[in-house]
Amino acid sequence: MIENDEIPHYFTEKWADALLCNSFPIYMGCPNIADYFSSGAFKCASFNDWHNFEDLILNLLDVRDTHYDMHFDELINAKKNYMENYSFFPLLGFYLDQLELNKQNEARKVNIEPLQLRKVSHLANRIKRYYYGRKAQRLARIIKSQMYL
């Protein structure tokens, strides 16, 4: 699968779709995806190395009968990791907990690391896109407003 760009700490639903389907991804995108998921659950390719991309695919096709079985447990663990840590509802829960803690401490500032900032923005956009109800739009505005306090 090919992302639109190679940006550290940034992967999209393309990555999740492959994991959720139990496929073995050949991935071009987030250069540090192995920081999040076991490197045995995928093969990385680079936008800058098209010559080796063909070899990578041919090598995987040669061992396809055994390769998938050898890496199946790592694929399942990567899928579980995605569902428990990076899918919509765990992220929503994490940021709502952050907002609740913020209210309890009566602090108005939330420190969000750059990676988390990208996740919050992505989360707010997903809320708007999938749930067009007024409450969801209000929640998305609240989440976005907390990013800049």
pLDDT at 147 over 80: no
pLDDT at 1 over 70: yes
User: What are the helix (H) ranges across the chain?
Assistant: 13-20, 50-62, 64-81, 88-104, 114-130, 134-147
**Same-domain status, 68 and 94:** no
Query: Does residue 142 lie within any of the structural domains?
Result: yes
**Same-domain status, 69 and 96:** no
Q: Distances in Å between the alpha carbon of 62 and those of 55, 58, 67, 81, 88?
A: 10, 6, 9, 29, 36
Q: What domain range is 82 assigned to? A: 13-86
Higher pLDDT, 113 or 12: 12
Average pLDDT over residues 26-55: 84
pLDDT at 141 over 90: no
Q: What is the pLDDT of residue 139?
A: 65
| Bridge partners (DSSP) listed for residue 43 | 26
**Same-domain status, 18 and 81:** yes
| Total structural domains within the chain | 2
Query: Does residue 105 lie within any of the structural domains?
Result: yes
pLDDT at 41 over 80: yes
Q: What is the pLDDT of residue 21?
A: 87
Q: What is the pLDDT of residue 149?
A: 45
71: its two tokens: 């890496």
Q: What is the pLDDT of residue 60?
A: 80
Q: Distances in Å between the alpha carbon of 85 and those of 2, 62, 107?
A: 22, 34, 26
pLDDT at 35 over 90: yes
59: its two tokens: 């090598």
Q: Decide which of 53, 69, 86 is a domain's last residue.
A: 86
Mean pLDDT across the chain: 76
